[in-house]
Amino acid sequence: MFPAADVAVASARQLWVTAQERGVNAGTWVLTKKNGAWWICTVHNTRLTAI
């Protein structure tokens, strides 16, 4: 989603696995475009569930 020409909001689901457990996170990223490059402003990850 682009709320403005130089701002993007992206979301992703992340499956993670370790030797002890595995689960799913939901992530939201806010990016801004400055001097032709995209920069990450903030990231928020939320653990949804262990699977």
pLDDT digits (tens, 9 = 90+) for 7-27: 999 999 989 899 998 999 999
| pLDDT for 28 beyond 70 | yes
In 3D, which of 9, 2, 3 has the Cα closest to residue 30?
9
State percent of the chain over pLDDT 90. 80
Name the pairing type of β-strands 22-34 and 37-50.
antiparallel
How confident is the model at residue 49, as a pLDDT? Answer: 75
CA 26 remoteness from chain centre: 7
